[in-house]
Amino acid sequence: DSSPTWISIHWFSRAGPTAAEPRPDDLSSFPKDLLVFHRSWMEGMGNIVFYNEHPDGGHSAAYERPQYLVSDVR
């Protein structure tokens, strides 16, 4: 697995933020999360191709509402 290698290169060279590659982003927002990401706030941060605002759920959304995340991935 090459993940540790790439993580180490970016971490130790301190090039992480400048080495970022533009990619399509997706975002699922949950109202009880630690940070609530509204689409209008995030549009300037990247290329958002999928956004879903869920009616409930929070910081542990994968545990609390796994069906939401599964439907978002599908």
Are residues 31 and 54 in contact, defined by beta-carbon separation less than 8 angstroms?
yes
Token code pair at residue 30 = 């949950």
Sign of CA dihedral 15, 1, 70, 30: negative
Whether pLDDT at 11 is above 90: no
- Going by C-alpha positions, the residue among 38, 46, 39, 50 that lies closest to residue 74 is 50
Under 8 Å between Cβ of 32 and 39: no
Kindly list the domain boundaries of the chain, sorted by start residue.
Answer: 22-73
pTM above 0.75, yes or no: no
Q: What does R_g of the chain's alpha carbons equal in angstroms?
A: 15
**For residue 68, what pLDDT is reported?**
92
Q: What is the pLDDT of residues 12-69, one digit of tens each?
A: 776 666 666 777 888 888 888 888 777 888 887 778 889 999 999 888 888 889 999 8
Instruction: Flag whether pLDDT at 6 surpasses 90.
Output: no
